[in-house]
Amino acid sequence: MRHFLNLTDAGADGIAAMLADALDRKAARAGFRKGRVDTDAPLAGHTLAMVFEKSSTRTRFSFDMAIRQLGGTSIVSDGGSMQLGRGESIADTARILSGYVDAIMIRTDDHAKIEEMAHYASVPVINGLTDASHPCQIMADLLTIIESGKA
């Protein structure tokens, strides 16, 4: 899977694999301090750009903690600190960010922006929320359903 813009991008097998990995990692983290890096640190040396055109508390903190727990780092930008689609085109922003980071997560009101970002980015783009889709929240909800034993 190159990008994660919609749940369908992962397919049934991809969704099952991500959920299984999440369950395994969550079990392995039992007793760890929240900020402790997972033993295998799969994202060591990797950086995630988090672009928030739409403000968020849970999305920002959950993505930031997840990347840290997996050994990576993040760079956060809110809508006011970027010229996304205004003074600088989305295509240019996608190309520039791709030169600095290993993946881009964007939270925006306009799904067309994330699709354009994915088209021009040379790194994976993750949908942190758009007006059309919120695949990461769906994954979190599915994990909760599985853990509750109601799946």
Q: What are the extents of the domains in the chain?
A: 7-148
Q: What is the pTM of this model?
A: 0.92
- What was the pLDDT predicted at 33? 87
The pLDDT tens digits for 91-149 are 999 999 999 999 999 999 999 999 999 999 999 999 999 999 999 999 999 999 999 98
Segment (H or E) for 149 = none
Long-range contacts of 90-94 (CB under 8 A, 24+ apart): 90/116, 90/117, 90/120, 91/116, 91/119, 91/120, 93/117, 94/118, 94/119, 94/120, 94/121, 94/125
Is the model more confident about 126 or about 88? 126
Q: What kind of fold does domain 7-148 have according to CATH?
A: Rossmann fold (3.40.50)
Mean pLDDT on 48-64 = 92
pLDDT band at 1 (very low <50, low <70, confident <90, very high): low
Q: How is the chain split among helix, strand and coil, in percent rounded to 5? A: 45, 15, 35
